[in-house]
Amino acid sequence: MQETLPKRYVGYVRVSTDEQARSGLSLQAQRERLAAWATAFGHMLVEVVADEGESAKTLDRPGMRRVLQMIDDQAVDGVVVAKLDRLTRSTRDLLDTIDRCERRRVAMASVSESLDTSTACGRLLVTVLGAMAQMEREQTAERTAAALATKRRQGRRFCRHAPYGYRFDDSDRMVEVEAEQRTLDEVAAILGEASRPSLRTISRLLAERDMLNRDGRPFKAASVAGLVAAVERRKAAAA
């Protein structure tokens, strides 16, 4: 039976304040946990990289850059931390780092969370973390959309450029643009015809009636789709 060689791991430790760095107690405690973990699982701890007095807001830290370079160079078989928040407090950064490790066939392990991406359970935990991150992004998007919808209902600025038919005044209030409103009226009239015309047909009809876009050019079919949507929104709001 072939003997399994110990895997080479680089340890990473971090403290966020200069006071913690000067005392050395937290760093030493992390190092001891990493050493105990390596001994328990029969791995080789080839180096322990430290970031002293560094925040976990981003991955742009001297020690972290060194660890990432070791991952890219496949200089080790895995990375181990005492706790995931030593690595980063951002779920997105964590998942990006784990993905980076997976692409280089480098394992990621955490002592406190019992995470080890070289095992099936570890990969399951990563999947759960990814689902949580996706939920967080979707919730943020929902909150942003709700806030913008509220601003729109109140006639306040909700985007960089006002939708066609309107402009933002000096008070960031949305006011109608008469010429653009006439264009929307014309589109509504065309749509009200018995045979619903195509976007290209509407574009041609608007050009024949000298109705141009904000740049003074004829509306392309893709732009007409936006006009149709604006007409539909106006109709729904009036209902």
Question: Angle at which helices 91-103 and 62-72 pack, to 10 degrees?
Answer: 30
Structure-block tokens of residue 123: 């990969």
- Please tell me what DSSP assigns to residue 89: S
Q: How far apart are CA 123 and CA 10, in angstroms?
A: 20
Q: Cα separations (Å) of 239 from 46, 173, 232, 233, 236?
A: 71, 23, 11, 10, 5
Catalytically annotated residue among 16, 26, 110, 203: 16
User: How far is it, in rounded angstroms, from Cα 203 to Cα 219?
Assistant: 6
Helix/strand/coil for 227: helix
Asked whether the beta carbons of 107 and 121 are under 8 A apart, the reply is no
Label residue 150 exposed, middle or buried (CB < 10 Å: 0-12, 13-18, 19+): exposed
Asked about 16 being catalytic, the answer comes back as yes
Which residues does the annotation mark as catalytic?
Answer: 16
